[in-house]
Structure 1
Amino acid sequence: MLQLQKIRENKEAYIEALAKRNIEGGKLLDDALQLDEKRRATQTELDATLAKSNTLSKEIGMLFKSGRTAEANAIKATTAELKETSKNLGDQLNLVSNELQELLYQIPNIPHNSVPKGNTDEDNEEIFREGEIPELQQGALPHWELAKKYDIIDFELGVKVTGAGFPIYKGKGARLQRALISYFLDKNTEAGYTEIQVPHLVNEASGYGTGQLPDKEGQMYHIGEDNLYLIPTAEVPVTNILRGEILNASNFPIKYTGYTPCFRREAGSYGAHVRGLNRLHQFDKVEIVRVEHPDNSYHALDEMVEHVKNILRELKLPYRILRLCGGDLGFTSALTYDFEVFSTAQDRWLEISSVSNFETYQANRLKLRFKDADGKRHLAHTLNGSALALPRVLAGILENYQTENGIAIPEVLVPYCGFEVID
Structure 2
Amino acid sequence: MLTLRQIQENKAEVIERLRIKNFDATALVDEIIALDQRRKAQQAEADGLQAEMNALSRAIGQLFKEGKAEEANAAKEKTGGMKEQIKVLTTGLEETEQALQQLLVQLPNLPHASVPAGKGAEDNEEVRSGGDLPQLKEALPHWELARKYDLIDFELGVKLTGAGFPVYKGKGARLQRALINFFLDEATKVGYEEVLPPLLVNEDSGFGTGQLPDKEGQMYHVGVDNLYLIPTAEVPVTNIYRDVILNAAQLPIRNCAYSACFRREAGSYGKDVRGLNRLHQFDKVEIVQVAHPDASYKVLDTMVAHVQSLVEKLGLPWRILRLCGGDMSFTSALTFDFEVYSAAQERWLEVSSVSNFESFQANRLKLRFKEEGEKKTQLAHTLNGSALALPRIMAALLENNQSEAGIKVPEVLVPFCGFDMIS
Asked if the contact 2:266–2:280 (Cα under 8 Å) also holds between the matched residues in 1, the reply is no
Query: For 1:268 and 1:51, how far apart are their aligned partners in 2?
Result: 60
Match of 1:4?
4
Q: Determine the structure 2 residue equivalent to 1:392.
A: 392
> In structure 2, how many angstroms separate the alpha carbons of the residues matched to 1:4 and 1:271?
44
Letter in 2 for 1:184: F
Cα distance change, pair 220–312 in 1 and its aligned pair in 2 (3 A): same
Aligned twin of 1:239: 238
What are the equivalent positions in structure 2 for 1:123-272 lying under 5 Å apart?
Answer: 123-137=123-137, 139-266=138-265, 270-272=269-271
Deviates more, 1:183-192 or 1:74-83: 74-83
Per the alignment, residue 415 of structure 1 pairs with 415
Q: Distance between the aligned counterparts of 1:294 and 1:410, measured in 2?
A: 38
State the distance in 1 between where 2:103 and 2:171 align: 50
Q: 1:378, 1:108 → 2: CA distance?
A: 21
1:367 aligns with 2:366: yes
Aligned-residue Cα RMSD (Å) equals: 1.0
Give the C-alpha shift of residue 271 in structure 1: 2.5
| 1:48-59 map, 5 Å | 48-59=48-59
- Is the Cα contact below 8 Å between 2:307 and 2:387 reproduced in 1? yes
Q: How far does the alpha carbon of each residue in 1:64-89 deviate from its partner, in whole angstroms, 9 at most, with x for none? A: 34432211111122111111111111
1:343 paired residue number: 342
Shift of 1:40: 1.3
Extract unaligned runs of 5+ from structure 1: none
Q: Between Structure 1 and Structure 2, how many residues are aligned?
A: 422
**Counterparts of 1:197 and 1:52, CA distance in 2:** 55
What code does the residue aligned with 2:86 have?
S
What displacement does 1:267 show? 5.6
* Rounded Cα–Cα distance in structure 1 between residues aligned with 2:307 and 2:295: 19
Q: 1:385–1:315: structure 2 CA closer, same or farther, 3 Å change rule?
A: same
Single out whichever of 186-195 and 10-19 deviates more from structure 2. 10-19
Q: Which amino acid aligns with 1:312?
A: V
**Cα offsets for 1:173-209 (capped at 9, x unmatched):** 0000000000000000001000011111100000000
Shift of 1:157: 0.3
Bigger shift: residues 364-373 or 166-175: 364-373
* 2:74 counterpart letter in structure 1: A
Distance 1:386 1:40 in 2: 42
Q: Structure 2: how far apart are the matches of 1:238 and 1:185? A: 15
Q: Does 1:302 align with 2:301?
A: yes
Runs of 4+ in 1 over 4 A off after TM superposition: none
Aligned partners of 2:266 and 2:279 also within 8 Å: no
Q: How big is each residue's C-alpha offset from its partner over 1:16-61, in whole Å with a ceiling of 9 and x where there is no partner?
A: 1111111112212111111111111111111111111122122223
Kept in 1: contact 2:266–2:278 (CA 8 A)? no
Tell whether the 8 Å contact from 2:359 to 2:382 is kept in structure 1 after alignment: yes
- SS in structure 2 at match of 1:106: coil
Which residue of structure 2 aligns with residue 273 of structure 1?
A: 272
Is it true that 1:112 corresponds to 2:112 in the alignment? yes
Letter in 2 for 1:126: E
Post-superposition Cα deviations, 1:320-379, rounded to whole Å, max 9, x if no partner, equal 000000000100000000000111100111100000000000000000011113332110
- For 1:330, the equivalent position in structure 2 comes to 329
State the distance in 2 between where 1:268 and 1:304 align.
29
Distance 2:396 2:128 in 1: 18
- The SS at the match of 1:166 is coil
The 3 A distance-change label for structure 1 pair 335 and 61 is: same
Q: Name the CA distance, whole Å, in 2 between partners of 1:248 and 1:413.
A: 39
Q: What's the secondary structure of 1:129's corresponding residue?
A: strand
Secondary structure, aligned partner of 1:295: coil
CA contact (8 A) 2:408 2:420 kept: yes
* 1:120-156 residue CA offsets vs partner (Å, 9 max, x unmatched): 111111111100011113x211001111111110000
> Separation in 2 of the partners of 1:260 and 1:268?
21
Counterpart in 1 of 2:31? 31
- The residue identity in structure 1 corresponding to 2:262 is F
Instruction: Determine helix, strand or coil for the equivalent of 1:132.
Output: coil
In the superposition, relative to structure 1, how do residues 358 and 100 fare at CA in structure 2: closer, same or farther (>3 Å)? same
Q: Distance in 2 between matches of 1:103 and 1:362?
A: 16
Once residues 182 and 45 of structure 2 are traced to their aligned partners in structure 1, the CA distance between those partners, rounded to angstroms, is: 60
> How far does residue 63 in structure 1 lie from its aligned partner after superposition?
2.3
CA distances 1:84-103 after superposition (whole Å, capped 9, x unpaired): 11111111111111111111
Which residue type is aligned with residue 320 of structure 1? R
Corresponding letter in the other structure for 1:422: I
| Cα separation, partners in 2 of 1:58 and 1:183, compared to 1, 3 Å | same
Query: CA shift at 1:268, angstroms?
Result: 5.3
Alignment-mate amino acid for residue 161 of structure 2: T
Normalising by structure 2, report the TM-score. Answer: 0.98
Q: How far apart, CA to CA, are the structure 2 residues paired with 1:312 and 1:65?
A: 84
Unaligned runs of 5+ in 2: none
What amino acid does structure 1 have at the position aligned with 2:50?
A: L
Please tell me the residue identity of whatever aligns with 1:352. V
Higher deviation after alignment, 63-72 or 278-287: 63-72
1:69 aligned partner: 69
CA distance in 1, matches of 2:308, 2:30: 42
Counterparts in 2 of 1:269 and 1:116: CA distance versus 1, 3 Å:
farther
Per the alignment, residue 98 of structure 1 pairs with: 98
Moved more, 371-380 or 247-256: 371-380
Helix, strand or coil: the match of 1:327?
helix
